Every structure is written in C-alpha cells, then in structure tokens.
Amino acid sequence: MDHFPTNWGRPRHEGFDAYGTFPIHQRPTNGPKDAFKEGIERTQQPIVTGTSVLAIKYKDGIMMAADNLASYGSLARFKDISRLHAVGNNTIIGAGGDMSDFQYIQTILDDITTEEFTAQDGHSLGPAEIHEYLSQVMYARRTKMNPLWNALLVGGVKDGKKFLAYVDLLGTTYSASTLATGFGGHLAIPLLREAVEGREDTLTEEEALRIIENSMRVLFYRDARSLNKYQVAIVTEAGVKISESLKVETSWSFAEGIRGYGAQTQ
Amino acid sequence: MTSIGTGYDLSASTYSPDGRIFQVEYAGKAVENSGTAIGLKVKDGVVLAVEKLVHSKLLVPDANRRIQTVDRHIGLATAGLLADGRNISNRARDEASSYRDIYRSPAPLKAIIDRLGLYVQAYTLYSSVRPFGISTILGGVDENGPSLYVVEPSGVFFGYNGAAIGKGRQLAKTELEKLKLNELSMREAVMEAARIIYLVHDDAKEKDFELEISWIGPESNYTHVHVPKDLFNEAEAQAKAALETFE
Amino acid sequence: MPGMVSMTQPIQQSFNPYTENGGTILAIAGADFTVIAGDTRQSEGYSIQTRYAPKVFRLTDKAVLAVNGFAADGNMFVKKVRQRLEWYRHAHAKDMPIRAIARLIQTMLYARRFFPYYVYNILGGIEEDGTGAVYSFDPVGSYEREACRAAGAAQSLVQPFLDNQIYFKNQTPAAGTAFPKHLPLSTVLPLVIDSFTSATERHIEVGDGLEIYVVLARNSTALAGLQSLRGVQEVTGTNDGERVFVIRRDLKKD
C-alpha cells in the first residue's frame, strides 16, 4: 500500500513517464535511494571543549591536573565538569578537547575494565595497556576520518613502574616525565620541565603539588578558556585519588601600577 | 518415568496431553545430580557458595569455577551442566554490559534476571534446541540493596532470602531456614555457607570436592569477588570442626 | 579579493588527518655492515613533544627500519611490518631476508596509495650474500637500494654532506689514486655523528638524542672497533651470526 495520496493514480516512477506527459508536482519518492549521493559527512568540530591538562612524574607516582571548565566556544558554559577520570585502580586519564567525545571514551574504558574484572583471572589493565588501547582507538577513528576530538594524558603506577603518556585525535603518541595538552603545552611545559626533569624520583607530593598549582595559576592568568577552579589527581602504588575542586590563588594588585592603557591621566 | 515411550518427551516443543513439557523436567534432573550451590542474602550483602565435585585428582585446583562474575556488583553460581553455566554467565555479562551502554549506570539485578529468564525460557520453545541443564543463583547488591534470585530450566525465576540448588538442596534449605538471615553479618554468612556445604556433602558416595565461596558486600567494596584466602581458610576449618561435633 | 576568507559564510573547517613530527633519519651501508641512525626528538610546530621517541626499530637481526614523518602513521606502520614478519617466522621458521622485507614494505605502502602513510622509510641491514644494504622509500612505496640515504626534516642538510663524503661527489682523487668503494665503520660512525650534530645546529626540529644502530654481517671485521666504543649495547636476538648494536649519544637540547 502506498500511503502517500498524491501518488495515487500516477505512474509509480518517473521512468514510466519519461517525457512528462502530465504534470507531476513535488512529492515524496518511494523508490530506492542512493545513500552515497551526497557523500558521507562526518568530519566534525569540537563543540563543548575543555582546555589544558597537566601531568608530571614525582617520587610516589603521577600527578595530573585539569580545571573544571567546559566551554561552548568563548562561553564558559559548564563550570563544574571533571576532566579527570580514573580507570581501574592504577590509571588516571585527563582530557582536553570535545567533552562529549571524552564521555564516550569514559564509557568504552569502563566497558573494557568491567569485562576484565568479570574474567576474575587475576589480571587487570594498567596504565600502559589503557594507553595502548586508547591510541589504537584514536588512530582508527582518525583513519576513518571520524576522529574523537581530544588530547588525552594517561598516567599511572603499576607493579612499581610509573607511566605517563599522551595521545590525541590524530593517534599521535609520546611519553615524557612532564606532559601537557593544549595551551599547557606552550605555557606550562617549560615551567614543568624546569621543575621536574631529573627530579622525577625525589620530588615529594607537596613539592609536586606546588609545581602543579603554580602552572595552573599561570594558565589561568593567560589562557582565556581556563578557570580558577581545578582538580588534582594522584596515582600511587596505593591507588587513584582525585581531589575536591581547588581554587587558584591569584593576585591582581599589579594592575594598579600599569600605565598607558586606561583612562588615567599620567 | 511415565513419560518414557509415550513420545511426548522427545522435544521441548511438544506438550504431553496433561500439559507438561518433559524435556524441561529432564533438564531439572541434570540439576539435581549436580554438586550443591547455595546463596544467602543477608543484611549488607550476598554470599554464594558451591560444592564443586572434583571428578579427577589430576585437575588443577581452582579450575572450572562454578561461581562467576557477571558485572562488578553481580555474581552467579550454577548447578547442573558446567558448560551451560558458562553460556548463561556469558549471556548475563552481555546483558549487564548492554544495560550499562544504554543507561550509563550499573544494571539492577531485576533487569538482569528478567532478561536471563526470557533467555532460558526461549530454549523451552523449539524442537531444535535443548533446554538449559542448570539452575542459576544470581546474587548482587544494587541501588535497592542486596538481592538473590534463582532461574530454573523452565525460565521461571523467583527471589529468595536463601537459596539452594543441586543434589543437597533439601538439607541445605532446612539449614538455611534455621538461620536468621537478615541478622547475619557478611562474615557470619560466609561461615554458615561453608558449614552448610560441608554438611550436605555426602562423602560416602561422593568423590572429593572443592569449596567455592564468593561475596558482595561492604567488605568487598560492593564488588563480586571470591572471599579472601584467610577468611576462606577460617570458614573451611570451622565447617570441618562443626561437622565433627554434628556427627 | 582572492585568498580572503569570506565573512558572510561559515568556514568549513575540515579535519586534517596528518601532521609532521620533525626529526631526521639516515643510513649508510658498508661492505659488511650497515649503520642506521635517527634523532629522538618528536615535535609539532615549535613545540617539542618529547625528547625521547625512538624512530629506529630493530626488525630482525638482519634488518633495522627507520621511520620519519607523521609519528602516528610511523608507529602503526612499524607495528604492521613487525606483525607480517612474525607471520613469516611462523610460516617459514626463519627471519625474512632484507630484500623481501623491502618489497613487502613497498607493497604495504602502495596498498595505501590513496590514503598514504605519511612516512619516509629507510631500511638498513645485511643481505643474504653478507653485504650491507640500505633501501629507501617514499611514502607510497617507490624504493631503491643505495649505499646511503638521509630523510626527514634535515634531509636537505645531511644528504649533500653524505654525497660528498660517501660518494665523493665534487671531489677528484689525487693523481694515481682512486676513492675507496666502501668506507670502514671507523670512518662511517664519525660521519653519522657529525651529520646529526650539524643538523642539530642548523635545524630546530633535530636534536635531544641520537640512536645509532649498527648491523654487522657474519664475521664482520668491524666488530673489534665497535666493541671498544663508549656506551655501545648489543641487542642481537638470535644466533644466526648477524649482530645488532645500539649506540646512544646526546645531542643539543636547544
């Protein structure tokens, strides 16, 4: 049964009336459609985004930080978003870029860790395995020209070994004792390298925290898509801990002394 | 066995004139011949225990587990054909993960047992398949607290405070009824579970057996895991001691 | 005005699946050895992502592969080549000969002719006849066997130097003498190190660390000189006779 009344009493297809012997107005076509006629459009752009993630190695393990902001373009849209996510007991991931893609990544990671848990075979996924898996997913998606629009840091400790690595929407991976995504790569990395390189096995938790705090402050001063509210995650042999939201302490008194830009007379 | 020779017992898709499905009843026999499995629902969680009969001394200890994990917060124990137990746990895992994918939250036990019931029942409908030769005890703790269910080969399932399936189920049920389940702590429940399994094991007829105990509760961080080694040893020792005084 | 972005219409921001991660690789074949080297800096734009990301990989005891270009493609490509070599080992109970690896790499690169691996490959090692070999590839699989090749960010700095020092281009031998056909390892290694220190001086994407793989043919005469070297490490995997060594050196980090 054809459910479109305008089709009734008419040729079923233009093919039957190629010369237009009577007028056929616009009506739904019920014939086979070429799904590829307009091509497949899946190249996207990030919509709700997070900015930098920072991470360093220190004496007891890995410390990672990200602020609580998810922006919608230049609008500070969500100010209570956690961009750090624990995967199992040994791994932390932090994400910059598209937050919906990040939520999808959280689901697939939870899926594989649950699957691993239900096997009850004494094995669990560590940071190196999570990072390898993630980079395969990210690379496969970029190869399909349908990327997950993120830059991710994966850190953790397992069997006495510290691990810290990066992966992004292109599937690019690398490892270092200090890592940062987004603006952090420009503003924070020089500070972090200066403070951390060569001291990975001696920095205490308090020292590491101070280094991170300082970098987050620099980022808040200069990155317009950042927030003065952030979380710090710590992964040690004992497990993963994600802190409550912390506040960046700032001081703006120096602004008083700036001359030459405002309405002041001298 | 009035069914034999009547021709009504050859297929799960045929009723007998008085409305029975003999193939399903035969599946029940497969369960009755298996080592006992019990489940206890207590105040804070659930304890599962199994009497795993070891048919050969050559088997690796702890191999062929009959208690399996379905999701972080759900476990199951089966009595009957071991391979059918594996199939059911795989299905249960798929259902649990599918629920997670759709609703982005851990599955309530009710949702899993519903789907598991439908799955088992589907195998009572067709002449091309054999009903499951197992009963399954499904236990877990979800947002509504602890719960415990049993699915039978017919696909029917009920919720219980204490459940027992397999060869020693009658005696086990009698013992479970004596307990004040909702007053027991998790540790006490583990002790009782071990005791009951040792009690119902008839070592005159049976070969060796291995005890398996798992739990889901505050002490396991609400995940389904086999109980820690020291607790297991303690429970097993107490069970053996209780058996001596019983006799 | 041409070249100006229209403000009336939204710009279609399309996804670019490639990037360029800098660095340089090089390989030189001797009579009974081959040297394959690469720096360890990985960068994107003006940012150094890491100071240690290997670009040179031991495939077998007879073959070492250096990859340069888009790092994600490079790592994936090495992974796939290794997988094929493992399958070959399972099927034939021996390592694939280097000329076969070279052809395999061509096939694998050309299979992606219309979505290429954005990677320049240099394969170095020992042929079945015991001679040192270098094979170089373009991203879609065109390849040839050579005595030496540089690729990557500082190719244009290093290759002319190699042409001059290895092939003796723009040099004329003294009357009554001839240039040697093959150079000894003791000459080649300093050339490699000098190439990279020079490239580090003049190219921002080169530096941090240098990894030099040396593959020796059976009973290679270069062995004695190699073992006395500072910080040399053997990474041979089989008892087939060929031996593989790595030499690590620091490069300037600025």
- Find the CATH number of the domain harbouring B145: 3.60.20.10
Assess A170–C contact: CB distance below 8 Å, yes or no. Answer: yes
Condensed to tens digits (0 to 9), the pLDDT of residues A190-232 reads 999 999 999 999 999 999 999 999 999 999 999 999 999 999 9
Enumerate the residues of chain A whose CB falls inside 8 A of the CB of residue C69: none
Task: Give tens-digit pLDDT for B65-87.
Answer: 999 999 999 999 999 999 999 99
* Residues 6 or more apart in contact with residue C66 via CB below 8 angstroms: C25, C26, C27, C36, C37, C38, C55, C56, C57, C121, C122, C123, C124, C151
Q: Within a domain: residue B3?
A: no
Q: Which domain covers residue B180, as residue numbers?
A: 22-245
Alpha helices in B10-106 (DSSP H): 22-32, 82-103
Confidence of residue A74 (pLDDT cuts 50, 70, 90): very high
CA neighbor of A56 nearest in space, from A153, A167, A132 = A153
Residue B39 lies in a domain: yes
pLDDT per residue over A88-127, tens digit each?
Answer: 999 999 999 999 999 999 999 999 999 999 999 999 999 9
Please report where in the chains the tokens 């690398």 appear, as a residue.
Answer: A174
CA distance C191 to C152: 17
pLDDT at position A265, please? 63
Give the percent of chain B with pLDDT over 90. Answer: 89
Which residues of chain B approach chain A closer than 8 Å at the C-beta?
A: 65, 68-72, 93, 96-97, 100-101, 104, 223, 225-226
Q: pLDDT tens-digit profile of B165-222?
A: 999 999 999 999 999 999 999 999 999 999 999 999 977 677 789 999 999 999 999 9
| Interface mutation target, options B74, B97, B138, chain A, most CBs of A under 10 Å | B97
For residue B189, is it within any domain?
yes
The DSSP string of C15-30 is: ---------EEEEEE-
Smallest CA-to-CA distance from B37 within B206, B181, B173, B142 is with B173
Interface residue A166 vs chain C (CB under 8 A): yes
Amino acid occupying residue C34: T
Q: So what's the pLDDT on residue C2?
A: 42
Which run of H or E residues covers position B115? helix B109-122
Cα nearest neighbour of A117 on chain B = B72
Instruction: For residue A6, indicate whether it is catalytic.
Output: no
Q: Would you state the pLDDT for residue C4?
A: 46
ipTM: 0.91
Find the radius of gyration of the CA atoms of chain B. 18
**pLDDT classification of A17: cutoffs 50, 70, 90:** low
CA distances from C77 to C113, C117, C142 (A): 14, 7, 16
Closest-CA distance of chain B to residue A120, Å: 7
How far does the CA of residue A83 sit from the closest CA of chain B (Å)?
18
Find the CB nearest C14 among A43, A143, A189: A43
Q: What CATH superfamily classification does A48-246 receive?
A: Aminohydrolase, N-terminal nucleophile (Ntn) domain (3.60.20.10)
C114 and chain A in contact, CB less than 8 A: no
pLDDT digits (tens, 9 = 90+) for C15-38: 999 999 999 999 999 999 999 999
Q: Does the distance separating the beta carbons of A118 and B70 come in below 8 Å?
A: yes
Q: How far apart are CA A132 and CA A137, in angstroms?
A: 9
Nearest CA in chain B to A106: B104
Does residue B2 fall inside a structural domain?
no
pLDDT in tens, B108-160: 999 999 999 999 999 999 999 999 999 999 999 999 999 999 999 999 999 99
Q: What is the pLDDT of residues A129-156, one digit of tens each?
A: 999 999 999 999 999 999 999 999 999 9
Residue in B65, B71, B104 nearest the CB of A114: B71
What mean pLDDT value characterizes chain B? 94
Residue C4 one-letter amino acid: M
3-state SS class at A59:
coil
Task: Give A7's pLDDT tier (boundaries 50, 70, 90).
Answer: low
Chain center to CA of C89? 24
Q: Quote the tokens at residue C227.
A: 């073992």
* pLDDT for position C184: 96
The arithmetic mean of pLDDT across residues A44-73, rounded, is 96
Whole-number mean pLDDT of chain A?
90
Domain annotation for chain C: domains and CATH numbers:
24-43+50-251 (3.60.20.10)
Domain count, chain B: 1
Low-confidence ranges of chain C (pLDDT < 70): 1-13
At residue A180, the 3 state secondary structure works out as: strand
| pLDDT confidence of residue A21 | 62
Indicate if the pLDDT at residue A34 is higher than 90: no
In a domain, B4, yes or no: no
Spatial distance between the Cα atoms of A206 and A43, rounded to a whole number of angstroms: 44
Nearest CA-CA partner of C181 in C213, C148, C212: C148
pLDDT at A44: 81
